[in-house]
Amino acid sequence: MSLRTVAKTGLQRKRFAEDADAATNIPAAKRPRASVGQPSKTAPAPKTAALEAEVRKTLALERVQELETTLSDQCITALVELFHADITMADTYLALSRDGVRKQWISNRLKQVQGKEQELM
């Protein structure tokens, strides 16, 4: 690549950037700068995310024991194991606010667990 081509390409990039600035009507001094290689302040650190997952699991476990009084101890422990194995199951359980929907969801999950246990035997 010749020096002339490099200079021309650089000039084209500068013009493209100026055109983009004009299209957005945001002065260069007021535009947010992207930070490269720095962690986002809004994204939780991995250690914090793990802690939050544990808190959500605990909430789900407490809620299942409070609300699902008609379930046997065996069913409750199956849900406990399910929540420990997959945080999305605990999150889903916590998000279900309608009694009928929550009970049907639990019934479906317990059938899945029982089906897997039958396959292992």
Distance CA 114, CA 81 (A): 13
Clarify whether residues 24 and 69 are in a common domain.
Answer: no
Buried b / exposed e along 49-63 (16+ C-beta atoms within 10 A): eeeeeeebbeebbee
Clarify whether residues 24 and 51 are in a common domain.
Answer: no
Clarify whether residues 66 and 24 are in a common domain.
Answer: no
Clarify whether residues 64 and 100 are in a common domain.
Answer: yes
pTM: 0.58
Averaged pLDDT for residues 61-80: 95
79 C-beta neighbours (distance < 10 Å), count: 22
pLDDT at 114: 84
- List of residues 6+ apart from 93 with CB closer than 8 A: 60, 63, 64, 79, 83, 102, 105, 106
Clarify whether residues 74 and 20 are in a common domain.
Answer: no
Distance CA 61, CA 98 (A): 18
Residue at 37 is within a domain: no
Clarify whether residues 55 and 89 are in a common domain.
Answer: yes
pLDDT tens figures, 10-25: 555 555 555 555 555 5
Range(s) of the domain holding residue 87: 46-120
pLDDT surpasses 80 at 113: yes
Token couple for 44: 């939780």
